[in-house]
Chains A and B, each alone.
Chain A
Amino acid sequence: MATIEKKRGNPNFVKRTVEPDIAGINNAPNLHKEYIFQLIRTHEKQKPISAKMGDLGGEILSPYQPFFAVVNSGLAWDAHYVPREGAKPGASRRWRYLHGFPTIWVDEQIDPEPTKEEIASNLNDIVFRNGILRVFEHEQTKLQAVMLNDAFEGCKRPLKNVPHQYRLLDQDKIDKEVLSQLDEQFEAEKAAREATPQEMYALAYFFGIDLAQTDEAIRKHFITKARSNPGIFRREFVNPKNKYKYIFMTALGQNIISDTRIPGHVYLVEADRPVYDLRTDNTIEELSAAVMGNDQKSTDLYNQLRKMIED
C-alpha cells in the first residue's frame, strides 16, 4: 500500500479564491452575489440633452442604447463535452437559454421537453437596459448564456468573429483602479507642491507653462497640470531629459550659446568659440539626447551651462 505523505499545516488556512462556477453549476450559489454586465459601445454625441433649454453643456442621459438584446441561443464551445464515446473532450454544442430549465444545452433539455410557450417566453429574453444587465449568481444558466456568448468580451472560445458588445464589470478591479488613480493623483500633486523652483521650471517648460511670470503663478499652473494629468506628470517629473532641455533652452534664450552664428555649430557667445557640432536642425533635442547618451562634449557643455543658469 502506497504511503500517503501528510501535508503540513492547517488546511483551513489555505488561501481560497472565489470564482463563479460557470461551467459546472456545482457550487451552492450566493443568492445575493450579483454580476453586472455593461455594454461597451456608448453614444454620447447622439444622445438628447435634457431639460435646460439652451444649455448645450447640460446633463446627458445614459450614454448607452436604452434597450439592447443579446442572442439567447446559438452554438458554443463546451470544453468538457464528449461528443461520442472515446472522443476527446470539447465540441460545439447548441445552446438555448430557457428560463427555469437547469441546463442551457439543447440536447439536455429533454426531460421535460420544453413547450412552445416556454421557448417563446419573454423570460428568455436577455436585454440590457440603459447599458446594464444584472444577473444574480443563483441564475446560473443565465450567467452561462451571457458568458459563453460570442459577443461577450470575456468569451473564452468564441466560434464566430463577432465584435465584442459587452463586458463583465469586476467591482474589485474597478475599486483597485480607482484607488490607484487616486494615489497617483495624490503623489503627482505632492511632487508638484514640493518640487524645488529649478525642478519646477524644467517641467514647466515641458508643459508649456509661461515662465515669464511669478513663481506663485507658475506653481499654480504646475499643480493644475499635476492634478489634471497625474500619470504623465509623474512620468515626466523623473525624466532627466526635461531638465537638459530646459537648461539648453534657457541658455539659447539668454544668448549664452547660439546655434545661428555659424549654422551647424553651437557657439559659446562670450568666448566666441564653437563647442559642439550639430548634425540636425533641432539643437535642443539633439543636445539633450546627446547628454542622455553620455556624450562627453555635450555633457560638459550642459554642466557648464547649468552652473551659469542655476548658481
Chain B
Amino acid sequence: MAASTIPASFSAPQVTRYGLINSLNVINVTAFGEIVQKFGFTPYIGLNELAGNEEKSDNKQVRWYEEHGRALNFVTAAGAVSGAAGASITVTVGAGNYWSNGTLSLPSVGMEFRSAQTGIITRCTAVNRTTPFAHTFSITPIVSTQAATVAAGEELLSMGFYQVGGSSDVTETIIPTVDRYSNYNTELRWDTTLDDLAMMEKVEFSCNGSHAWFTFQQQKDELRQYLQREYNLMNGIQANNLPYDESGSDGVLAQVAANGQTLNYSQFGTQTVMAQVDRMLSAVGAPGEYDVLAAKLPFQDMQNSIANEINNGAIIYAEGSPMGGYDIKANFKSITMYNRKLNLTNYQIFDEQFMFGASGTGIQSNLSLWVPRGKTTGLGQDQKTQVIVPRFCLTYQQIGGANKWHMWQSGGYADNPNGTIANKSYHNIAYFGVKLYGAIQYLTTYKQ
C-alpha cells in the first residue's frame, strides 16, 4: 500500500499566509502547471440520479408502502400433531404467522389447506383466537383414508375457501396487510474560507495550513461531497446518539441488511454460488435484470469463474439495455445466466483501498451488491391510478426552494459582499436519502 495516497494531516482551522515567496522576494513564482486528478470511479447512485431515479421529498422523513407477503398465504404448525385417518387434529399457529399484536392469523372456518410437505389437503373446521400469539385451529382431511398429521414447522398452504358446497354462506374477509417503510433525508455539508491574503496569491496559497490552489480547493470540495454522498448513501445508518437532534439516514446496505437477502460463500462458483443467488432471487419474484456492484476481489472471482465454467465466458453484450447503453460506457459488462441479465461492474466505493487508501482488508473488500433493475408498479393514493416507481430511488430536499446542491458565499469578498471580515467563504450543503422499493429483492453476497 503506497503511503502517498493517504492524505496529509489536516491542520487547525485558521488561515495563514503560505510562504512560497521568500523573504528576499527574489523568486517570483507565476508559472503553474495543470493539476492532475488521478482517481476516478463509477458513481452508481449518481448514474441512477442521471437516469431520473430520484424523488423530491417535501419532508425529512420519507415513507412508502409495500404489500406484505404474497397474494397466496400459508401458516406453519407450531408443533407436531398426529391424527388418525379421516380424523380432525388441532394445530397451533406457529410464530411469525400473526399480525395485529397476535390477535389475527390466517386460518378461518371453511378454508382448505394443502400441506407443502405431505401434499395432504385438509379443511379448517374450527378456529380459536382467544389467546394472542397462541391461536389454534382444527383441520380434517378431505379424504377419509388420509391422516392430517403435521410436523413442527410444517407449512400449510391456504387454498382459500374452496369446495364450499351448495348454498354456501358468506366467508370471512381476509385482508391483505400493507407494510410501511420509512427513511430520512440527512445533511452533508462542506465549508471553505479563503482570506484576502490567500486570494492575493492566486497561484498557491495556504488554506487551513494546507498547500492548495484557489479553484482546486472548491473543485475538491465538490468532488469530495459528491463521493461522500455516494459512500454515505451506501453505508449510512439511522443515529440515536448524536449530541443534537438528527435522525440520520439508512443507506442502501443497511436497508438490504434489514429487509433484503444475504448470501455468504467461501468460494465463488458459477454453478454453485451464482445458482444459489439465482434461486434466492427467484424465490422472491426478482426481475430479469440486475446490476451487480462488486468490490475488486469478488469481481475478479466472478470473472474467473464465469470464464472457466461457461463456454466463451458467457455472452458479453455490446450495447443495449433499458438504460440506453450507458452501462457499457460506465464500465458495466453484461451476461445472461439462468434467463437473467446481470450487469457486472467493479464498484470502487466498496474498495476502501481504492477510495481511501486504506488497507483494503475490511469486510467490504469481499462484498457484492445485487440491485434489481427497472421499475415496479403499484396503486396510487386514490387507489385507482397506477404508479410506476424506480426500484432504486434517491430522495432529496430543496430547503427553502434552494438548489439540490445548495451553495452560497459569505464574507466581505463574497459575490454579494456581506460582513466586515476581509475573506470569502464557500458553503455547500445537500439533503439526501435513499429508498429501496422491494428491498427483499436486493441481495448482498460476502466471500468468507
Contact = CB atoms under 8 A, between A and B. Distances in A.
Interface stretch (A16-24, A60-68, A287-295): A60-68
Contacts of A75: 266
A73 B262 contact: no
Given A50-B180, A160-B448, A62 B96 contact: yes
A10 B38 CA distance: 81
B363 A163 contact: yes
A12 B245 CA distance: 67
Interface stretch (B207-215, B221-229, B269-277, B342-350): B269-277
B258 A71 contact: no
A65 B266 contact: no
Interface stretch (B249-257, B322-330, B384-392, B399-407): B249-257
Binding site of B, secondary structure by majority: helix, strand, loop or mixed? Answer: mixed
Contacts of B177: 50-51
B189 interface: no
B232 to A, nearest CB: 16
Nearest to A130: B96
B99 interface: yes
Interface residues of A, number: 41
Contact of B258 (A34, A46, A119, A165): A46
A127 B267 CA distance: 17
B286 to A, nearest CB: 12
Contacts of A236: none
Contacts of A71: 264-266, 448
B259 A47 contact: yes
B272 A119 contact: yes
A231 interface: no
A109 to B, nearest CB: 14
B266 A73 contact: yes
Q: Which of A48, A50, A51, A165 has the most CB of B within 10 A?
A: A48
Contacts, number: 104
A190 to B, nearest CB: 29
A69 interface: yes
Given A41-B257, A74-B266, A162 B448 contact: yes
- The majority secondary structure among interface residues of chain A is loop
A223 interface: no
A285 interface: no
A122 interface: yes
Contacts of B263: 69
B426 to A, nearest CB: 35
B238 A46 contact: yes
B99 A51 contact: yes
A160 B266 CA distance: 11
Contacts of A120: 271-272, 275
Contact of B261 (A45, A67, A119): A67
B448 A50 contact: no
Interface of A: 32, 34, 41, 43, 45-53, 59, 61-62, 65-75, 116, 119-120, 122, 125, 127, 130, 134, 150-151, 160, 162-163, 165
21 contacts: A45-B250, A46-B258, A46-B259, A47-B258, A47-B259, A48-B182, A48-B259, A49-B180, A50-B179, A51-B177, A52-B100, A53-B180, A59-B99, A59-B101, A65-B259, A67-B284, A68-B262, A75-B266, A120-B271, A120-B275, A130-B96
Given A43-B257, A122-B276, 18 more contacts: A34-B152, A48-B179, A49-B180, A50-B99, A59-B101, A66-B259, A69-B261, A69-B262, A71-B266, A73-B266, A73-B267, A74-B266, A74-B448, A116-B271, A119-B272, A120-B275, A127-B280, A163-B363
